[in-house]
């Protein structure tokens, strides 16, 4: 089991969130959408220019920019 940045995950890879380092508005938004430690995610796809990324969590699809994904550590 290794811990990596959400940005480094591949399409269709699954993992469990370990920590969310974001604070302020970004932190609040990320948490409101359920990106909190312990949640399972799966990378769904990336935009044509590789950024943002879309991922699956709790049965719905969420988008996130790469520089926002950097705050989230995932165990894969």
Note the residues at the interface with another protein (CB under 8 A): 20, 23, 25-40, 42, 44-45, 47-52, 54, 56, 58-65, 68
| DSSP string for residues in 1-69 | --EEEGGGPPTT-EEEEEEE---HHHHHHHHHTT--TT-EEEEEEE-TTS-SEEEEETTEEEEE-HHHH
Least separation, in Å, of the C-beta of 33 and another protein?
A: 6
**Least distance between another protein and beta carbon 18 (Å):** 12
Between residues 4 and 39, which has the closer beta carbon with respect to another protein?
Answer: 39
CB of 74 to another protein, least distance (A): 15
């Amino acid at each position: 089991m290794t811990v990596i940045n959400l940005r480094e995950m591949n399409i269709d890879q699954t993992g469990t969130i370990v920590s969310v380092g974001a604070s302020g508005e970004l932190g609040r938004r990320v948490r409101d959408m359920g990106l909190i430690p312990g949640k399972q995610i799966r990378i769904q796809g990336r935009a044509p220019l590789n950024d943002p990324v879309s991922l699956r969590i709790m049965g719905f699809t969420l988008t996130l920019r790469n520089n926002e994904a950097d705050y989230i550590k995932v165990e894969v």
